[in-house]
Structure 1
């Protein structure tokens, strides 16, 4: 049954995703249109997860109503779309390689995605900080997966260096978010199990801490749901 559910999900979601992405690439020419398209795609993803896989979301903690930098644990693809429904119209910081994908990358850019160029050095960091500040000035929160890649549930990967640079230079409060999606949606596994995925929004970490203190707090909080 797990295999059949996972197979049906893959068929329905990925075929549907082609439709949503191509539709957005052709018709969503503005930032507002791209935001709407992303929300519809994320809602489609949630419905597929609930109705086919039996996977649901539970939220713990408080989601702020002001622009903040969300530092989110990354264990599966699930959270990359689910956070678009939980957090109001965020700007997502993502690898430059993803933004370079044809069709999808153009929609992501119009939505407000901000490229992380890990090979770009100081110039790339300045561009990242400027784009992040501009998004926050427009009232948008930022989403960052500070581990940089999906991590199996139970493992505690170190934070990438980019988090410290953002925290220091953009001056936004940080909200660490723990989750346990890898229990049901394991990395590099086709099979997905029914159940509830928890998103735990931690206490706000205000700007001004030194690098070691800020990283230690974030690292501990995003791993709060690890066994």
Structure 2
């Protein structure tokens, strides 16, 4: 398939993906207002839609490996594209993200994100957000579920080195919950920037959980080694040698 044809297919896919977001939001608006369960159902429906349309519009299949958690844990994924946000969330029953505070003002994403229990964090004020979140969890105010936090804080392209931020370690210590690392190679097919989406199979691998009780520095090294080793292996499986 030529580059030009795949680029056009990608453009159409990207456009319909963003059009579908407010449409599904409107369909589930009343259920979402009535209960967080309605908002969760809406988000899962959108994940299913994107996965289905990606499979035939751009030839990008999704494979989930390992066992997605269903209990109350932290989930620490490799972040390479918007697709990993959707597919990791869609694989679990009650995911909730720590996300940039500015996103709470984004149409649909912000409103539904807050409704499903996502926690907005102001840039530079992560420490305050962690303290508040821990207090809410201990007081029973936070919605139960799988707390998703990206250890590197932003999208990182395959083959690029970037530090793992200590916020994940602080949460690990304070919440005293298991952490489930997640590796992926989705960035090989869905770049951080640009229109083109490549055909292939994007893999999202839920790895063995790290139990609570480790020293923070030991935990952070184990988390980074686990995710990076598995992601590098998946990248090579997809034909990426960078």
TM-score of the superposed pair, with normalisation by structure 1: 0.91
Say whether residues 1:43 and 2:52 are aligned partners. Answer: no
Q: For 1:176-187, what aligned pairs fall within 5 Å after superposition?
A: 176-187=181-192
Shifted more, 190-199 versus 51-60: the winner is 51-60
Q: Which residue of 1 aligns with 2:92?
A: 87
Shifted more, 199-208 versus 94-103: the winner is 94-103
Q: Deviations over 1:68-96 (max 9, x none)?
A: 11100000111111112211121222111
Q: Given that residues 114 and 132 in structure 1 are in contact (C-alpha distance below 8 angstroms), is that contact kept between their aligned partners in structure 2?
A: no
Q: How far, CA to CA, are the matches of 2:27 and 2:134 in structure 1?
A: 31
SS in 1 for 2:180: strand
Structure 1 unaligned blocks of 5 or more: none
SS in 2 for 1:148: coil
Shifted more, 215-224 versus 111-120: the winner is 111-120
Say whether residues 1:155 and 2:164 are aligned partners. Answer: no
Q: Which residue of 1 aligns with 2:195?
A: 190
Q: Given that residues 91 and 135 in structure 1 are in contact (C-alpha distance below 8 angstroms), is that contact kept between their aligned partners in structure 2?
A: no
Out of 107, 112, 115, the position equivalent to 2:117 is: 112
Shifted more, 92-101 versus 141-150: the winner is 92-101
When the two chains are superposed, the root-mean-square deviation of aligned CA atoms in Å is: 2.1
Gap change, CA 1:93 and 1:121, over 3 Å in 2: closer
Q: Which residue of 1 aligns with 2:102?
A: 97
Q: Given that residues 67 and 136 in structure 1 are in contact (C-alpha distance below 8 angstroms), is that contact kept between their aligned partners in structure 2?
A: no
Q: How far, CA to CA, are the matches of 2:139 and 2:227 in structure 1?
A: 26
Task: Give 1:123 deviation, angstroms.
Answer: 3.1
SS in 1 for 2:231: coil
Gap change, CA 1:150 and 1:55, over 3 Å in 2: same
Q: How far, CA to CA, are the matches of 2:158 and 2:140 in structure 1?
A: 31
Q: Deviations over 1:19-76 (max 9, x none)?
A: 1234445652021111111111111111111121111112222323422111000001
Q: Which residue of 2 aligns with 1:20?
A: 24
Gap change, CA 1:132 and 1:50, over 3 Å in 2: farther
Q: How far, CA to CA, are the matches of 1:175 and 1:17 in structure 2?
A: 28
Shifted more, 170-179 versus 40-49: the winner is 40-49
Q: Deviations over 1:168-204 (max 9, x none)?
A: 1011101110000010001102101011011122111
Q: How far, CA to CA, are the matches of 2:166 and 2:9 in structure 1?
A: 39
Gap change, CA 1:28 and 1:116, over 3 Å in 2: same
Q: Given that residues 94 and 146 in structure 2 are in contact (C-alpha distance below 8 angstroms), is that contact kept between their aligned partners in structure 1?
A: yes
Shifted more, 86-95 versus 24-33: the winner is 24-33
Q: Given that residues 25 and 107 in structure 1 are in contact (C-alpha distance below 8 angstroms), is that contact kept between their aligned partners in structure 2?
A: no
Task: Give 1:122 deviation, angstroms.
Answer: 4.1
Task: Give 1:124 deviation, angstroms.
Answer: 2.5
Gap change, CA 1:85 and 1:12, over 3 Å in 2: same
